[in-house]
A and B are shown apart, each in its own frame.
Chain A
């Protein structure tokens, strides 16, 4: 069977998200780099894959997809087995809870973190000064989200219930970068959240993607 193709560098959080899913289901895949330095993401060829000129894009035979959480859903559904059912298909209640906490990740957790990353890492790289006001606000937002997570994870082993799902895995990429910043100390007050993250980061699929991300930066 032809390996599926993921377009975009693993250094991007949204690309890493898709790779974690491919690793979890053990699918064969190929990474095709898109060179932002030469604006390849805005080339007609890439726009045909992702009309918003972003990464990742994903190809499986004739099917072309974009938006990392949509690609992730497709991968986890297509390669689902009895043992690896990370969307909890077959259980309407469990699937619904996966949808809830995946949206929480996408709309509450991720934006707070990526805002800090943007100010702390991207703005200086572009020659600007980080806006400490925005950082402060974002860290506060994150703190409020973590308050809820701590309570939730005290009642359940994972976010959607006592089962691992895409809702948990989807937190990995943004968290990975956040932990390299001084603001990571915000996690110190949340023991159950820290345990949950350690559990995630110990998974072979995540360790594999981390090693790819490390290679990408040094390459």
Chain B
């Protein structure tokens, strides 16, 4: 029987990876419907009917169609592994998860993304990185990670004593970031480093990484054929 849950997107997208990570953590069966951005699959009318913003991932769960990866993550965990979203279920615990999920989205994401784009994506497309942009964002990210170091010195995980979506949500972007030469920013902060290594070692994270590597290999093969 086909799984009730479908994820539409390309596995190399960190946003798709975020959704997959939560499904893997929750042990939910799903089907990844692979899409090709270069073929403009996300711009076709049948996809726009699912997400009018033409972005991936989209998650279909029975009659429910969702987009925005963090909203998808919340839905999957609320339904299948609520302790990863709400800690002990108290308003205070849920609030701390919400705080650090917002921090990921509004403080961590942008500088990390800028560094990944310049150091990985631009060269992959045959361009030359803008070092000024890299330097500006390295300085920003350093300040952000110093806050994380202080927090993780006082607390086992970002939202408190247990792992939550607030931690997991960082995995996809950090995974790419740690492949750049600026991984040192994480490595020089002992608590951030240990926190990252634990995230990266989780079986669900390893599975998502493997899915991404497979997709990247297929992409490289297709490229090689052209």
> Per-residue 0/1 for B145-189: is the Cβ within 8 Å of any A Cβ (1 yes, 0 no)?
001001100000000000000000000000000000000000000
- Does A51 contact B151, Cβ atoms closer than 8 Å? yes
A73 to B95, CA, bound (A): 7
> Per-residue 0/1 for A8-42: is the Cβ within 8 Å of any B Cβ (1 yes, 0 no)?
00000000000000000000000000000000000
What's the least CB distance linking B145 to chain A, in Å?
A: 12
Residues on A with C-beta less than 8 A from B98 are 67, 69-70, 73-74
Interface residues of B in 93-144 (CB under 8 A from A): 94-96, 98-99, 101-103, 105-107, 144
Which residue of A has the minimal Cβ distance to B109?
A107
- Does B64 contact A103, Cβ atoms closer than 8 Å? no
What's the least CB distance linking A171 to chain B, in Å?
A: 15
- Does A95 contact B68, Cβ atoms closer than 8 Å? no
- Does A107 contact B105, Cβ atoms closer than 8 Å? yes
- Does A100 contact B66, Cβ atoms closer than 8 Å? yes
Cross-interface CB contact of A103 among B68, B91, B144, cutoff 8 Å: B68
Residues on B with C-beta less than 8 A from A103 are 68, 70-71
Which residue of B has the minimal Cβ distance to A100?
B71
- Does B70 contact A77, Cβ atoms closer than 8 Å? no
- Does A104 contact B53, Cβ atoms closer than 8 Å? yes
> Per-residue 0/1 for A58-81: is the Cβ within 8 Å of any B Cβ (1 yes, 0 no)?
000001011101110110011000
Which residue of B has the minimal Cβ distance to A97?
B66
- Does A74 contact B94, Cβ atoms closer than 8 Å? yes
Cross-interface CB contact of A92 among B67, B78, B92, cutoff 8 Å: B78
- Does B74 contact A52, Cβ atoms closer than 8 Å? no
Residues on A with C-beta less than 8 A from B53 are 104, 108, 145, 148
- Does B68 contact A99, Cβ atoms closer than 8 Å? yes
Residues on A with C-beta less than 8 A from B96 are 65
Please tell me if B6 contacts chain A, counting CB pairs below 8 Å. Answer: no
Residues on A with C-beta less than 8 A from B95 are 63, 65, 70-71, 73-74
- Does A100 contact B67, Cβ atoms closer than 8 Å? yes
Which residue of A has the minimal Cβ distance to B62?
A93
Interface residues of B in 71-97 (CB under 8 A from A): 71, 74-75, 78-79, 91-92, 94-96
What's the least CB distance linking A196 to chain B, in Å?
A: 16
A residues neighboring B (CB under 8 Å):
51-52, 63, 65-67, 69-71, 73-74, 77-78, 92-93, 95-97, 99-100, 102-104, 106-108, 145, 148, 151-152
Which 5 A-B residue pairs are closest in the complex by CB-CB distance? A67-B102, A99-B71, A70-B98, A103-B68, A74-B95
B residues neighboring A (CB under 8 Å):
52-53, 63-64, 66-68, 70-71, 74-75, 78-79, 91-92, 94-96, 98-99, 101-103, 105-107, 144, 147, 150-151
